[in-house]
Amino acid sequence: MNNKGIKTVLSLSVLISLALSPAVSANVTDKDILNDQATTGDVVSYGMGLRGQRYSPLAKINTDTVQEIRPVWAFSLGGEKQRGQESQPLIKDGVMYVTGSYSRVYAIDANTGDELWQYDARLPDGIMPCCDVINRGVALYGELVIFGTLDAKLVALNKDTGKVVWKKKVEDYKAGYSITAAPIIVKGKIITGVAGGEFGVVGNVRAYDAVNGQLVWERPTVEGHMGYIWKDGKKTENGISGGKPGQTWPGDLWKSGGAAPWLGGTYDPDVDLLFFGTGNPAPWNSHLRPGDNLFSSSRLAIDPDTGKIVWHFQSTPHDGWDFDGVNELISFDYQENGKTIKAAGSADRNGFFYVLNRENGDYIRGFPFADKITWASGLDKNGRPIFVDSNRPGDPSESKDGTQGTSVVSAPAFLGAKNWMPMAYSKDTELFYVPSNEWEMDIWNEPTAYKKGAAYLGAGFTIKPINEGYIGVLKAIDPKTGKEVWRYQNYAPLWGGVLATAGNLVFMGNPEGYLLAFDAKTGQIKYKFNTGSGIVGSPVTWEMNGEQYISVLSGWGGAVPLWGGDVAQRVKHFNQGGSVWTFKLPK
Q: Rg (Cα) of the chain, in Å, rounded?
A: 23
Measured between alpha carbons, how far is 18 from 283 in angstroms, rounded to an integer? 57
Q: Is 530 annotated as a binding residue?
A: no
Q: Is 2 annotated as a binding residue?
A: no
Q: Would you call the peptide bond into 412 cis, given omega within 30 degrees of 0 as the criterion?
A: yes
Q: Is 419 annotated as a binding residue?
A: yes
Q: Which residues are within 8 A (CB) of 410 and not within 5 positions of it... i.e. 6 or more apart?
A: 321, 374, 375, 391, 393, 440, 441, 443
SS3 287: helix
Q: Is 280 annotated as a binding residue?
A: yes
Measured between alpha carbons, how far is 176 from 1 in angstroms, rounded to an integer? 67
Residue 489, judged by CB atoms within 10 A of its CB (0-12, 13-18, 19+), counts as: middle
The conformational region for residue 458 under phi > 0 = left, psi -120 to 50 = alpha, else beta, is left
Measured between alpha carbons, how far is 556 from 132 in angstroms, rounded to an integer? 11
What residues are annotated to the active site? Answer: 322
Displacement of CA 257 from its chain's centroid (Å) = 22
Q: Would you call the peptide bond into 276 cis, given omega within 30 degrees of 0 as the criterion?
A: no
Closest CA to 204 of 151, 253, 156, 257: 257
Q: Would you call the peptide bond into 283 cis, given omega within 30 degrees of 0 as the criterion?
A: yes
Residue 563 CB neighbours (<10 A): 17
Torsion of CA 433, 427, 587, 74, to 10 degrees: -40
Measured between alpha carbons, how far is 210 from 144 in angstroms, rounded to an integer? 8
Measured between alpha carbons, how far is 109 from 20 in angstroms, rounded to an integer? 9
Cα torsion 56, 59, 63, 67: sign: negative
Residue 400 CB neighbours (<10 A): 6
Q: Is 337 annotated as a binding residue?
A: no
Measured between alpha carbons, how far is 501 from 34 in angstroms, rounded to an integer? 19
Residue 230 CB neighbours (<10 A): 17
Q: How far is CA 458 from CA 130, 442, 445, 446, in A?
A: 15, 14, 6, 5
Q: Is 420 annotated as a binding residue?
A: yes
Q: Which residues are within 8 A (CB) of 6 and not within 5 positions of it... i.e. 6 or more apart?
A: none
Strand ranges inside 188-323, DSSP E? 189-192, 204-209, 215-220, 226-231, 234-240, 265-268, 273-277, 298-302, 309-314
Residue 408, judged by CB atoms within 10 A of its CB (0-12, 13-18, 19+), counts as: buried
Q: Is 180 annotated as a binding residue?
A: yes
Q: Which residues are within 8 A (CB) of 523 and not within 5 positions of it... i.e. 6 or more apart?
A: 474, 476, 485, 486, 487, 488
Q: Is 392 annotated as a binding residue?
A: no
Give binding residues for pyrroloquinoline quinone as ranges: 86, 136, 180, 419-420
Give binding residues for Ca(2+) as ranges: 198, 280, 322
Give binding residues as ranges: 86, 136, 180, 198, 280, 322, 419-420
